Amino acid sequence: DYQSLLKRHNLRGSMSARGCCYDNACAESFFHTLRVECIHGEDFVSREIMRTAVFNYSECDYNRWRRHSACGGLSPEQFENQNLA
């Protein structure tokens, strides 16, 4: 089972109380968007090519232009530029 797999690899699961459906909402939202915008329909010929595509999407696209409420509705890049000026 899942817990045994974690223990076998010396990992610790990150979960809140049983039945709390909101603890993983941010990660679920990100991975859904990743699948839809980056992975779906692609035919990656190697794991390395897929890793590169996911890295480029998450670091160059998703994190740069997605608006965040924590940044006052600005993208992280806009927020950073505004605060450096």
Work out the pLDDT band at 22, boundaries 50, 70, 90.
Answer: low
Q: Report the chain's mean pLDDT, rounded to a whole number.
A: 84
**What pLDDT is recorded for position 40?**
92
Find all residues with CB under 8 Å of 63, minimum gap 6, and list them.
Answer: 76
The pLDDT of residue 29:
83
Helix (H, G, I), strand (E, B) or coil at 68: coil
Residue 64 above 80 pLDDT? Answer: no
Question: Does the predicted model carry a pTM greater than 0.85?
Answer: no
Q: Determine the pLDDT at residue 39.
A: 93
* Other Cβ atoms closer than 10 A to 85: 5
